[in-house]
Chain A
Amino acid sequence: MMQLQGSEFVQTYLDAREAVEKLMGTAPENYILALLLDSEIYDSILLQTNQAGTPHVLISTNELELLQQLKTQFVPNGVDIVFQSQKPRIYMPSRRMQLDKEVLKAKLVQAFAMAALAEHSVSDFPRLLEGIYKKDAIIKELFANNVYELVKEQSAPWAWQYFQDLVASYRLLALYGMEDFYLPPASMRKTSVFYNFLLEVKGIIQERVKLERRMPLWDLTFHGFGHAILRQYLETLDPDTSEKILPQLKSNLGQPFGEVGHAFLKWLQELEENEGKTLFEIASQIPNDYELVKHWSRSETKKRLEIHRDQLSNEALQWHSFRNGYWSDLWPIRAQNFDRVADLVGKIQRQKISTRLQLMMDKPSVIFHGRIKLRDRDVAVFSINEDAIGQEQLIILRNHMLAEQKGFVIPLPGLPDVIVFRKFAGMHIASYLGVRTGTGYPSSPYDLPLVTRAVQVTKSKDAYVSEVREDEGKLDQTVDYSQLKNLTEPQHRAIRYLIRQGEVIQ
């Protein structure tokens, strides 16, 4: 394969712009195309954006270590990122320059079409995403500068991890309106640069959360439009060329969101009210995905999507080179993804969902179940189905007020001891983090006498082997479980076991 030269790339780029202008009558003006010379950085940006939304977002160390581990093995780097903010940002790795000129041009045409839609759409989505992008960039700068100072002055390298986890955890919990997560009062701002940082970050994250809660659902329209324009563009090419380059456009035409969105846009064009309008005019007038799919009843949508799915099963064969396993292994994956998007459409149609918040609250991934009152402390119980908070991040949720009294540098008040339920990878896990009090002078928030356990929540009665208990059941009488809500029986048993374990170990 030939490597494209710089000047050739620029020429392809200009050709693609011209093609978009010809197709749509307009082209994006205020955008960035970032061609990342180091393709590995592109992989990082892709993973991170998929994980938490924007290229500048701070992710927790739990997620970070996970992605670092997997970066060398599984990166779906065929996709180009078209970041649909008001000022659209297109990211590409330089390894795209090894592609055929025509393929690259087609990819750019799609990206520019999507960028133009983001620029001209009546939807709030690009504007809000721009706001989120800026907030994330500010947080990142703030984090880097303040923590750098702290690490240098106090020689405390733990601070990187701590603040990173803090920002990620706080962002998640604030999104779900968790009021228990407590930060210092505003009067503490002047006390030190760290209180200042905390308060500042808290403010910015809350602004970010406000934006995120207002975000409409728009992915279906956006990706569907990209899909549709690329199809139109391929029709303008002579059949030989388009046939030749089609297999290379897997990431552009083989995505389920695009497939389904494209189908709806096509049907929308057939409607009477849209007669004579171009696709771009129609798409740019759609404020959210509900407006895209609302014209058809459930039964009709199902019927139409079923036909489309059948069509797809044969068409999609061209994207795969492992032909032997296509019907047994590959198509099921593709179909499953298609069905997932179709189910989402169903949900949008049935419940008239138009914003992300509605979808999020339909099945929240963070739930607070209440507190358990022990003799000397509380234990908060959560369900958190997110990668952001792993076992190590639980400490962020823990109250460090006591440590502060003993000369601890950065007290970070939070919750009391925590129990967190999480369902993933075929497991249902209950993790417990307790902190013993009254020992020593911790040198960092991680340097606390911790009790951590993680057990599987299961129905089997012999699942929990308890160590010999010295209190002979007295503990149960002093613990108040009455405030807990929305928990299943096995979850209750797991909680009781963990509380007893915490006491025994302490």
Chain B
Amino acid sequence: MPHRIKWLTEAHYQDPLVNYGTTEYILQFQDAAEILRKWRNPHLGRSSREGTIIRLANEANKSVELIRQMLLTTNLDAKHEEQLIEQLKIFNFMMNHTLPEALELVNKDLLLTPEDILKFIEKHLALMQQEYGKSMSMAKSMLSRLNELTDIEIRDQFGRKRRVQQSDVLDVLGKTLGNLIIRQTSLRPVDQIDARPRGKVRKKETYRAAVLRTSQLPPPTIEIEDIRVVDKDRLSLIYFIVDVSQSMSKTVFTGGLTRLDGALLTSLGLYFFFNLTNRRKRREFETFKMHLVPVTEIPYVIDNNKKLERFLFEAEAKGKTRLVHAVDTVVNHVRSNYKENDFDVQIIVLTDGRPNVPFSGHIPGRPDPFLVKYFEETASDTPHETRQCMLQLNQLFRHLQRSMDRNWEISYFLMAPEKFRDSDLYKDTKAMLGGITRPILIDPTKIEQLGARIIQEAITE
């Protein structure tokens, strides 16, 4: 009986639990926009939420089976055994109470928001404590997996399912859109070196600048223009003016996206971009303080980040477009709330470019005479009220730009497909913003081309 030991290679014994078909899923901007739409309408994702509960139940079921086997057959230390018993109890409770109830609530569309889920989890933690007489240390982390219900299921190009988190999607959106806005603004990153003799002087950079200027080593003199300092980290105020008027509910984009969807997606993206920047800087205060002004009958300011995010997820389109009123509200808000500080202000207007209610109050300054002349001389389809509003906007923006109290920056995002570029309205808007800023046309479904075009324009300028 000759016994020989054979060497088996990996070719003989691969890990049998290998997933052959795994391919990396790449989230595109278009996907991100599409997914955000699903989040805005949570009723769309019901089957996906049901699937999640089934998966969790599947896992709990199999875990119970395996834990029991483990306790019966595998030598474990006391601590591990105790831990497993606790997990077993929690899984059993989940299988008998939590998951069936969750599925029923999902069937009824009652478990949608993170708040709902949090409440549900807390309720079941309390029930569990009643059941077992003591609190389970692992219960919270195990139940928190129910948070996956807020994730959304998407499909890759072959139709296979993946789940994505809201924050992942918004990061993708924010990065793309943030690059657009940063081109237009004066919101500099903190560590940018600036030629202003204020703050801490950076000797090395200053010395180098002097060397370059004089082309001598060592430089004979150091002039004021050579001095490099770190620009102090300043607080910037961001105001999103989001047009939620009736005209925004029109579907214009491919894939059933409305203008409002576009505007909200854009502002969500930007909101996340600024949030990300805030997180990265790790300062005591947040560098960008964000506000949102919906264009409603009486415009108001939302300055709480949570409320802001919620508004962006739940807003609906209705009413007329009181754009001038909204800008006026911003100006008043800044001047009354930040009287003492000269923070920079960035106004981001997201609209379809159809303001139709002229402002009746006082607007300082006067409109650009060239614009007045242009409106008088050129015929266009743009309605009279809209033109009047445009003049008022121009007057207000010009005034802000010239005002000495602080830096005012304006970005104007137009929600429209590419062909809007040929319309009279676009030309008028461009004229209105002449000397102030350039309108950015946003088609969320074609954002990639847009990004490429912006870069191109920036080079040719």
Nearest B-chain residue to A91, judged by Cβ: B13
Q: In the bound complex, how far is the Cα of B68 from the Cα of A442, in angstroms?
A: 44
B16 touches A443 (CB 8 A): no
Q: In the bound complex, how far is the Cα of B59 from the Cα of A160, in angstroms?
A: 23
Segment from A212-220, A322-330, A480-488 that makes contact with B: A322-330
Q: In the bound complex, how far is the Cα of B50 from the Cα of A426, in angstroms?
A: 16
With A156-B158, A254-B73, A321-B78 as given contacts, are A47 and B108 in contact (CB-CB < 8 Å)?
A: no
Among A69, A77, A158, the residue within 8 A (CB) of B160 is: A158
Nearest B-chain residue to A47, judged by Cβ: B17
Q: How many B residues face the partner with a CB closer than 8 A?
A: 60
Overall SS of chain A's interface: mixed
Q: In the bound complex, how far is the Cα of B80 from the Cα of A321, in angstroms?
A: 9
Most buried by A among B54, B68, B161: B54
> Nearest Cβ in chain B — how far from A72, in angstroms?
11
B96 touches A426 (CB 8 A): yes
Tell me which residues across on chain B come within 8 A of A464, comparing CB atoms. 107
Tell me which residues across on chain A come within 8 A of B78, comparing CB atoms. 321-323
B76 touches A424 (CB 8 A): no
A76 touches B158 (CB 8 A): no
With A157-B21, A447-B159 as given contacts, are A387 and B71 in contact (CB-CB < 8 Å)?
A: no
Overall SS of chain B's interface: helix
Q: In the bound complex, how far is the Cα of B96 from the Cα of A62, in angstroms?
A: 22
Nearest A-chain residue to B19, judged by Cβ: A64
Within A45-87, the residues touching B (CB, 8 Å) are 45, 47-48, 50, 55-56, 61-62, 64-71, 73-79
Tell me which residues across on chain A come within 8 A of B16, comparing CB atoms. 41, 44-45, 48, 55-56
Mark interface residues in B80-92 (1 if CB within 8 Å of A CB, else 0): 0110110000000
A337 touches B21 (CB 8 A): no
> Nearest Cβ in chain B — how far from A426, in angstroms?
4
Cβ of B95 under 8 Å from chain A: yes
Tell me which residues across on chain B come within 8 A of A463, comparing CB atoms. 104, 107-108
Cβ of B454 under 8 Å from chain A: no
A66 touches B73 (CB 8 A): no
B54 touches A41 (CB 8 A): no
Tell me which residues across on chain A come within 8 A of B109, comparing CB atoms. 465
Nearest A-chain residue to B57, judged by Cβ: A425
> Nearest Cβ in chain A — how far from B148, in angstroms?
13
Cβ of A446 under 8 Å from chain B: yes
B67 touches A74 (CB 8 A): yes
Among B50, B76, B103, B159, the residue within 8 A (CB) of A158 is: B159
Task: Give the bracket for the number of chain A residues in contact with chain B.
Answer: 35 or more
Q: In the bound complex, how far is the Cα of B91 from the Cα of A333, in angstroms?
A: 15
Tell me which residues across on chain A come within 8 A of B100, comparing CB atoms. 426-427, 456
Cβ of A255 under 8 Å from chain B: yes
Q: In the bound complex, how far is the Cα of B47 from the Cα of A56, in angstroms?
A: 34
Cβ of A175 under 8 Å from chain B: no
Mark interface residues in B1-25 (1 if CB within 8 Å of A CB, else 0): 1000100100001111101110100
Q: In the bound complex, how far is the Cα of B13 from the Cα of A425, in angstroms?
A: 33
A446 touches B62 (CB 8 A): no
Nearest A-chain residue to B7, judged by Cβ: A37
> Nearest Cβ in chain A — how far from B88, in angstroms?
8
Among A40, A69, A447, the residue within 8 A (CB) of B155 is: A447
Q: In the bound complex, how far is the Cα of B67 from the Cα of A180, in angstroms?
A: 37
Tell me which residues across on chain B come within 8 A of A247, comparing CB atoms. 75
Cβ of A164 under 8 Å from chain B: yes
Within A233-255, the residues touching B (CB, 8 Å) are 247-248, 250-251, 254-255
For the complex of A and B, list the 9 residue pairs with the smallest distance between their C-beta atoms, beginning with the closest. A78-B74, A447-B159, A160-B21, A446-B159, A160-B20, A322-B81, A76-B69, A74-B66, A158-B158
